Each structure stands twice: as C-alpha cells, then as structure tokens.
Structure 1
C-alpha cells in the first residue's frame, strides 16, 4: 500500500494553489456554459508477442498545470502499482488517492471516448477559459507518450482532430451540446 507523504512544498502548493484557483475562477468571470461538454476520443494500437495493455490517464489541467479533473484512468489498483509512476505527469500531480478510487482495468487496443462536463474534482463548475487536455499513455516495457493540448472553453463549439505517430494514434476533441 502506498502512503501519502506531505512535504512543506507540497502542502503549500496544495493550500495556496487551491486559494489561488478559487480566486482565478472568480476573476475569469463566466461559468462553464450550461448544457455543454468536451468529448475526448482517443485510439491506440498494439500487438505482438507478450503485449501488455497500457496504462492511460485522461485528465484536464489548468493554465498553471494543476489538476482540474481526471476523466479516465486505465490502470489496476493492487496489481500494477509499481508501474503507476510510468504515467509521469499524472503521477507528479500526487493524486494517488484518485488513482485508487477512479482507476479501472487496463483496456485492449481500440477507440475510447470520455466526456468532461465542466466540473472539477470536487464537483464545482469551472469557469470558461484556457485549459490543457492531457492523454498520457505508458506501457510496461514499452513506449511512453504524452498528448497535451490547450483548449479554449467558451460559448462556441469546436472540433479538433490530431493524428499522432506512436501507439497512441489519434485524439479527437469535440466541444458542444451534451449528446
């Protein structure tokens, strides 16, 4: 079982970061538009002798790189905890509790879709503005890939598609009315 240790820097980062985040959310003004969501579709491939399904984290960061919301986490608690740190950026955010409570089993190659309804980890609606959408991919004894793209959340819908060259082949963003 992993224990959570707080350093002075981590403590101040969390406390002051939370205070600043609340202040920034108020300063940004307009809340997330009602009835809108950001759908994230991603596809990865893999095959071969002794192929192991990858660990994948899909999450949203604020402008400063702080975690806003975890959308999906494909890793198995208890059975592969020693490999969690392979999701380097997500692991550095220190969200070990989220890893235990939100994670699900790893998944075989294919296409997956998750949605963000504009709420943060505590269930509060976030403000319109700039965010980073991250899809992090790591496989035991295999490649590590990080997709990180800035998106501007506002009143108008958008669609973006990114073709990638690794095992993580594609990421699509679709911001619009809830389906």
Structure 2
C-alpha cells in the first residue's frame, strides 16, 4: 500500500491571549468498497526538532494494527504504550468530528514559543493510508489551518488558539 502525503503552506500569526482551546475538525469520508473497515486515526503535534509533544487523539480497535499508522508508530506508538493506552479510543464511522487541544504538551505544560507541526494520519485495513501535516507557529491566536482531503481523510481544518 502506498503512503499518501500532503504538506500545506506555513501559517504564522501574532498572539493574543485566549482561554479557548484550539479546535481540529476532521472528516472521515465515506469510501465505497465491498469490504470496509473503520480507519485507525492519530492526531498529534511535533516540535521543530520533529519530536512529538502532544498526542491529541488516537482511534484504534486492536493494538496489533497500530503499526499501519507508520509515522505515528515510529514517533510515539512503539515507545510510549502508557500514553497510547491513556489517549486511545474506539475507531469512528464516516462523518465529521471535532477535537479540542488546550495548547499543552503530554505532561500538561503549556508549549513554548516556536514552530510546531500538526499531523493527522489514517490507515484502514484492506484500504489505504493517508498522512497530512501543517506547520504553525506559537503563540498564535485564531491561526486557521486547512488541509485538503487525501485518501482515507476528508478535509482537516484547525483553528489554533
């Protein structure tokens, strides 16, 4: 199976303090196929050194298939099973979903000023793989990130606060 990759443009904005969390809206598209399995989906943030700082969401069914989320597996999945267990939830059917992120890392500390990358990866048994990413700067207020639909993922849109 082939990994699809889409990188969008960088987006920088000035900071205005906000108590509202960032929102990440993502779509799992309807895929017409004779044998459909719900995709595994991971959403996380990495710092400028490509180190994971926050696992926002992980939708899985069986841990054996986590390796199909290739970047997620290399960066987080194989080395931090405690975090994976704490964050993981059930796979989702096609539809639109909204996630919230408070701007903090996995330890609960507020992320410092700098460049970060939002990743969304999806893999489906007997289906394809998709990975989309977008860089953003912190601090930010209302930075809007939009990533085009790509295979197993519909449009991903985030408002970083």
TM-score scaled by length of structure 1: 0.73
Computing the radius of gyration over CA atoms, which structure comes out larger, 1 or 2?
1
- Name the structure with the higher strand share: 2
Distance 2:38 2:147 in 1: 22
Please tell me whether the aligned partners of residues 36 and 175 of structure 1 are also in contact (alpha carbons under 8 angstroms): no
Aligned twin of 1:85: 67
Aligned twin of 2:22: 38
Q: Higher relative contact order by CA 8 Å / sep ≥ 6: 1 or 2? A: 2
What's the CA shift string for 1:33-57, capped at 9, x where partnerless?
4514321111121243220000000
Aligned twin of 2:97: 112
Which consecutive unaligned segments of at least 5 residues does structure 1 have?
1-30
Which consecutive unaligned segments of at least 5 residues does structure 2 have?
1-14
Please tell me whether the aligned partners of residues 39 and 152 of structure 2 are also in contact (alpha carbons under 8 angstroms): no
Please tell me whether the aligned partners of residues 40 and 113 of structure 1 are also in contact (alpha carbons under 8 angstroms): yes
What root-mean-square deviation, in Å, do the aligned CA atoms of Structure 1 and Structure 2 show? 1.9
Say yes or no: does 1:141 pair with 2:126.
Answer: yes
Q: Which residue, 157, 160, 163 being the options, matches 2:142?
A: 157
Aligned twin of 1:13: none
Aligned twin of 2:55: 70
- Name the structure with the higher helix share: 1
